[in-house]
């Protein structure tokens, strides 16, 4: 199993390299990712290439058994290139140039830049052709990081026009899709089309652009990033058979690129996994591990396959200031968490913190002084444990009975029209995931275009943008016995991001067996009552529901829709459709999720619920095992049925296992 570190030999004196390589070997490190920001060193002047320094570093590393993943350095175009072609700089919505001195200072659509990116990728691939020490390639680095997916330069405008010409047969079709008759925005030809640059209505997150146009722009920007990546993949493939990957970002922070599309041409997807910053973003400390978990599950869902972690947190994060912390034991626990959800290669960011540059306080495995201390020991221990069970980790699968459907058109459309000042689509999605994960149920996060029939339950909260094909997919799924869970803001729009004229819930009207006549986006909370949840709270949104074929599971209490249904269930074919007409408080949502799981016959991995514990069932070559993670700072005893062998310690456990604070276990029969 790949177990490594992100290494920057160019940041250190040469005589340190062999010390690093030896320390790596002792820590069990067998791979480093290098090179992804080193363009000015690979090509100090146009056409003058220097790979000798990296060759030397690689030679030193391989002597200690450390192999290499090479990053193409295209996230950091050098100064000579930017001076020669300043139109490569991305432009923001207000028309400002996003200039030199950071990174990602390039537009994905700039044709000159695409040629230069291709050329440096080719040069590297040519140079390392046939070199078996290169086990992988990473294209660019976190494409789209620092909000650079969406650029508003003239090259993007031109590329957008071309993209639209491909999508729409003629300009009338575009006008219809975008509804440009509204406010007299009709375009006479594709040449007249604009980008959503700074315009007149620009206050409090309200914009006056056509939601259809905005969504097409987001789709286009995502496609541009994917093309930009694929151009490099094509070059490298000409010279190398090594695994090609890209390091994607955690869903909590980044959703600008359709990762299903980005993943298509990659051999394996990678993620950069930083739990500490997520902890800071998440107000509830008891829930943050679910947020890390959902990002990992999303990564596995990109190709429905295991993945690598290209940057796993190895120390306190920070740039000019520290932001975030971790406790001893958490680096190990978080590594196991990644493995549990599908990671089969772990590379830690970074080997040693840099003394200069923007990320001075982003700590690594070593400290600034280069001395191995407690983080080094923790990672060393983790590595040696993982290698012992690596044959069970690599190629393992998780056979989830539950799916959550993630679709980027929907993600972007909810950002374009937030429907209510308080509504956040991600929060709703994560709330359902947290309940499932908290009940020790395995979840696949998947694409609507994949086979749903293997899942007993599919959750599609606020799945808003629909067409007849998707409608038919959902109908077939439920008809054949699937349990579908949808919520307010489901099915009310078509894929042009226009509101449907079908009675709400629009495309789900027949499936849900209800009609929604009116909505209250709710600025205040509202009581709801029902047998399953008892007394609960609608924290956001109320749909005024009229029952058609469905029956009510809970009702609103007080307010505009007093005594009207809040949650409904409808039998459709062999399956059921649950409709939740509001966002619920966590406890009520959890009760509802538990009820649905029981009704659908989904079996949890543990017989009781343990707060702060994750349990993931995995299988490799017919051998089943379960990974149990204790995110609590206190020990937890988990009840089991029968005898198990704990694979990390080799100890037999009987009917129960006690996990130490921040402890992990891998058990098998
Ligand atoms: C990202 C990048 C790294 C580094 C770390 C820490 O994940 O890929 O290059 O910048 O964040 O900030
Ligand atoms: Zn651009």
Mean pLDDT across the chain = 97
Question: Between β-strands 542-547 and 551-557, what pairing exists: parallel, antiparallel or unpaired?
Answer: unpaired
Q: Which of 148, 295, 311 to mutate to test the pocket of ligand 1 (most atoms within 8 A of CB)?
A: 311
User: Would you call 113 helix, strand, or coil by DSSP?
Assistant: helix
What residues contact 139, with CB distance under 8 A and at least 6 apart?
A: 71, 72, 74, 121, 229, 232, 233, 236, 244, 245, 246, 266
Q: What is residue 277's three-state secondary structure?
A: helix
Q: 622: pLDDT confidence band, cut at 50, 70 and 90?
A: very high
Question: Which residue is associated with the tokens 């001395």?
Answer: 371
Give the mean model confidence (pLDDT) for residues 150-172.
Answer: 98
Helix axes 330-340, 288-303, angle to 10 degrees: 40
Give the model confidence (pLDDT) of 24-56 as tens digits: 999 999 999 999 999 999 999 999 999 999 999
Query: Is 652 a catalytic site residue?
Result: no
Ligand 1 centroid to Cα of residue 222, in Å, is 21
* Least confident range of 280-284, 485-489, 565-569, 629-633: 280-284
Whole-number percent of the chain with pLDDT over 70: 100
Query: Which three-class secondary structure state does DSSP give residue 553?
Result: strand
Instruction: Determine the pLDDT at residue 205.
Output: 64
Pocket probe mutation, ligand 1, options 7, 139, 141, 246, max atoms within 8 Å of Cβ? 141
248 CA to middle of ligand 1, Å? 11
pLDDT tens readout for residues 191-217 = 999 999 999 988 766 788 999 999 999
CA of 473 relative to ligand 1 center, distance in Å? 39
The preferred substitution site among 272, 299, 308, 353 for testing ligand 1, maximizing ligand atoms within 8 Å of CB, is 272
Identify the residue whose C-alpha is closest to ligand 1 atom 5. 349
Least confident of 1-15, 421-435, 485-499, 522-536: 522-536
Phi, psi of 47 (to 5 degrees): 80, -5
Distance of CA 41 to the CA centre of its chain: 32
Under DSSP, is residue 483 helix (H, G, I), strand (E, B) or coil?
Answer: strand
- Nearest-atom number in ligand 1 for the CA of 311 is 7
Of all ligands present, the nearest one to the C-alpha of 248 is 1
pLDDT digits (tens, 9 = 90+) for 204-255: 667 889 999 999 999 999 999 999 999 999 999 999 999 999 999 999 999 9
The mean per-residue pLDDT over the stretch 345-359 comes to 98
Any alpha helices (H) in 38-153, and if so which ranges? 39-42, 52-63, 79-84, 111-127
Mean pLDDT for the stretch of residues 364-389:
98
Tens digits of residue pLDDT in 590-615: 999 999 999 999 999 999 999 999 99
Residue ranges lining ligand 1, Cβ < 6 Å: 141-142, 272, 311, 349, 359, 362
Q: Any idea which ligand is nearest the CA of 350? A: 1
- By the 10 Å C-beta count (0-12 exposed, 13-18 middle, 19+ buried), 476 is classed as middle
Which ligand 1 atom lies nearest to the CA of residue 142?
8
DSSP string, 339-404: HHTTEEEEEEE-SS--SSSTTTT---SB-TT--B-HHHHHHHHHHHHHHHTHHHHTT-B---SEEE
Kindly give the distance from the C-alpha atom of residue 111 to the centroid of ligand 2, in angstroms, as a whole number. Answer: 10
Among the bound ligands, the one closest to the CA of 140? 1
Nearest to 5 by CA among 314, 284, 286, 227: 314
Better pLDDT: 139 or 522: 139
If you measure from the C-alpha of residue 359 to the centroid of ligand 1, how many angstroms do you get, rounded to a whole number? 8
Percent of residues, the chain, with pLDDT higher than 90: 95
pLDDT tier for residue 8 given thresholds of 50, 70 and 90: very high
Q: How far is the CA of 397 from the centre of ligand 1 (A)?
A: 29
Contact of 340 with 629, CB cutoff 8 Å: yes
Report the 3 state secondary structure along 582-628: CEECHHHHHHHHHHHHHHHCCCCCCCCCCCCEEEEEEEECCEEEEEE
Q: DSSP state, 92?
A: -
Phi, psi dihedrals of residue 443, rounded to the nearest 5°: -130, 130
The span from the CA of 241 to the CA of 145, in Å, is 27
Nearest ligand for residue 159 CA: 2
pLDDT at residue 522, as a whole number: 78
Q: Is 47 left (phi over 0), alpha (psi -120 to 50) or beta?
A: left
More confident residue, 563 or 205: 563
Do residues 532 and 554 lie in contact, with contact meaning Cβ atoms separated by under 8 Å? yes
Ligand 1 probe mutation, 299, 359, 361, most atoms within 8 A of CB: 359
CA 359 to ligand 1: nearest atom: 12
Give 272-297 pLDDT, tens digit per residue: 999 998 988 887 888 899 999 999 99
For residue 578, pLDDT over 70 is answered with yes
Predicted confidence band at 324 (pLDDT cuts at 50, 70, 90)?
Answer: confident
pLDDT score of 204: 62
Out of 36, 43, 235, 311, pick the active-site residue.
Answer: 311
∠ CA 633-1-303 to the nearest 5 degrees? 85
H-assigned helices in 501-577? 509-512
Average pLDDT over residues 304-309: 98
- Closest residue to atom 9 of ligand 1, CA basis: 141
- Residue 494 C-alpha to ligand 2 middle, in angstroms? 28
Select from 35, 53, 31, 49 the least CA-distant residue to 132.
Answer: 31
Cβ burial of 620 (10 Å; 0-12, 13-18, 19+) is middle
Q: pLDDT at position 376, please?
A: 98
| pLDDT for 206 | 72
Determine whether 614 is an active site residue. no
């Amino acid at each position: 199993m790949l177990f490594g570190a992100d290494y920057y030999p160019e940041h250190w004196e040469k005589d340190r390299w062999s010390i690093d390589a030896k320390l790596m070997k002792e820590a069990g490190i067998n791979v480093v990712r290098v090179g992804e920001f080193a363009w000015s060193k690979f090509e100090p002047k146009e056409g003058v290439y220097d790979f000798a320094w990296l060759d030397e570093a690689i030679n030193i590393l391989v002597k200690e058994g450390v192999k290499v993943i090479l990053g193409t350095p295209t996230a950091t175009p050098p100064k000579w290139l930017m001076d020669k072609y300043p139109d490569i700089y991305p432009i923001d919505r207000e028309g400002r140039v996003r200039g030199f001195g950071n990174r990602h200072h390039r537009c994905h659509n700039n044709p000159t830049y695409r040629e230069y990116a291709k050329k440096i990728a080719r040069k590297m691939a040519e140079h390392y052709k046939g070199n078996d020490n290169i086990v992988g390639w990473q294209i660019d680095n976190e494409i789209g990081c620092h909000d650079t997916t969406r650029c508003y330069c003239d090259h993007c405008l031109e590329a957008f026009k071309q993209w639209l010409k491909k999508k729409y047969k003629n300009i009338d079709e575009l006008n219809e899709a975008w509804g440009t008759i509204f406010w007299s925005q009709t375009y006479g030809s594709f040449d007249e089309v604009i980008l959503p640059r700074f315009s007149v209505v620009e206050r409090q997150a309200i914009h006056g652009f056509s939601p259809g146009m905005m969504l097409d722009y987001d789709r286009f920007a995502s496609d541009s990033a994917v093309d930009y990546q694929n151009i490099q993949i094509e070059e490298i493939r000409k010279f190398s058979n090594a695994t090609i990957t890209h390091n994607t970002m955690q869903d909590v922070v980044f959703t600008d690129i359709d990762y299903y599309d980005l993943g298509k041409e990659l051999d394996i997807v990678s993620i950069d996994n930083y739990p500490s910053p997520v902890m800071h973003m998440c107000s509830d400390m008891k829930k943050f591990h679910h947020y890390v978990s959902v990002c990992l599950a999303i990564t596995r869902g990109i190709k429905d396959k295991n993945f690598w972690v290209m940057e796993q947190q190895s120390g306190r994060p920070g740039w000019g200031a520290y932001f975030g912390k971790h406790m001893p034991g958490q680096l190990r626990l978080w590594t196991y968490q990644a493995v549990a959800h599908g990671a089969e290669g772990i590379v830690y960011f970074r080997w040693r913190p840099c003394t200069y540059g923007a990320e001075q306080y982003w700590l690594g495995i070593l400290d600034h002084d280069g001395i191995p201390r407690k983080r080094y020991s923790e990672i060393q221990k983790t590595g040696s444990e993982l290698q012992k069970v690596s044959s069970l980790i690599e190629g393992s699968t998780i056979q989830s009975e539950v799916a959550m459907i993630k679709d980027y058109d929907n993600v972007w459309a909810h950002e374009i029209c937030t429907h209510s000042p308080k509504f956040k689509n991600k929060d709703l999605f994560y709330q359902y995931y947290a309940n499932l994960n908290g009940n020790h149920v395995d979840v696949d996060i998947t694409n609507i275009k994949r086979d749903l029939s293997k899942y007993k339950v599919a959750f599609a909260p606020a799945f808003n943008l629909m067409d007849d094909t998707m409608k038919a997919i959902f109908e077939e799924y439920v008809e054949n016995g699937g349990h579908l869970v949808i919520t307010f803001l489901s099915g009310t729009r078509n894929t042009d991001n226009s509101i449907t004229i079908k009675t709400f819930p629009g495309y789900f009207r027949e499936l849900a067996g209800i009609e929604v006549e009116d909505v209250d986006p709710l600025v205040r909370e509202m009581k709801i009552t029902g047998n399953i949840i008892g007394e609960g709270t609608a924290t956001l949104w109320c749909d005024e529901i009229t029952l058609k074929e469905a029956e009510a599971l809970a009702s609103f209490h007080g307010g505009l829709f007093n005594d009207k249904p809040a949650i409904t269930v409808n039998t459709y074919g062999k399956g059921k459709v649950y409709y939740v007409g509001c966002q619920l408080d966590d406890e009520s949502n959890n009760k509802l999720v538990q009820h649905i799981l029981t009704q659908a016959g989904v079996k949890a991995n543990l017989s009781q619920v343990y707060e702060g514990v994750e349990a993931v069932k995995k299988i490799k070559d017919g051998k089943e095992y379960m990974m149990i993670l204790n995110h609590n700072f206190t020990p937890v005893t988990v009840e089991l049925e029968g005898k198990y062998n704990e694979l990390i310690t080799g100890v037999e456990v009987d009917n129960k296992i006690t996990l130490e604070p921040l402890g992990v276990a891998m058990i098998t029969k």
